Amino acid sequence: MNINLRFKLLGFLIITFTFALYLLGFCQKNERITAEVNGRSKKYDVIETKRYEIIEVKDSPVTPEALKSVAEQAIADAEKDAAAHFNRTMWFSAGCFFPLVGPILSQHHQPFMPTARVLGKSPEYVAFYYDAYKVKTKKIQFNWALAGCLVGAPIEAYVITLVYRATRD
């Protein structure tokens, strides 16, 4: 009875820790930026959400060389932002506590897009930025979840073996 209570408490703490880290991602602070619109500067309060907008670009006056430099800049900015805003603890914990589910979940989880970084940018920049941010974030998520899986799986196998031996006697 005492061992069963310990395992229930341990399971409760693990689940609470994992979901608390996940919920902390929703408690991000608002960001105030200033952007120039029609020659006047305006202040915006930006809240990051999971809302995506599709922007249709018609007859872009951008040359292929300029588009290449816009793409390179957007990709570099997106990769830098993805590495800076990534929650390593959450994905390592997900891989550690849920060894098979964590890495799979990391590939299906849609990351939050930092909308403040693309205000006032061209539609081409926004498109390249969002694509690069999503790819880089999913890659980092998978790597950290896999690292947690490699650490957590042997530990969980050992704990399961101990539990099996204790209940067998």
pLDDT by residue, tens only, the chain of 169 residues:
566 777 777 777 677 666 655 555 544 444 556 666 667 766 655 555 555 444 444 555 556 666 678 888 888 888 898 888 888 888 898 888 888 888 888 888 877 777 888 888 888 888 889 989 998 999 999 999 999 989 988 888 888 898 888 888 6
Q: How many of the other CB atoms lie within 10 Å of CB of 45?
A: 9
Global confidence as pTM: 0.58
Domain boundaries, the chain: 61-168
Taking the C-alpha atoms of residue 31 and residue 51, their distance in angstroms, rounded to an integer, is 17
Q: How many of the other CB atoms lie within 10 Å of CB of 107?
A: 11
Q: What is the pLDDT of residues 79-110, one digit of tens each?
A: 898 888 888 888 898 888 888 888 888 888 87
Taking the C-alpha atoms of residue 4 and residue 2, their distance in angstroms, rounded to an integer, is 5
Q: Which of 126, 123, 102 has the alpha carbon at shortest distance from 115? A: 126
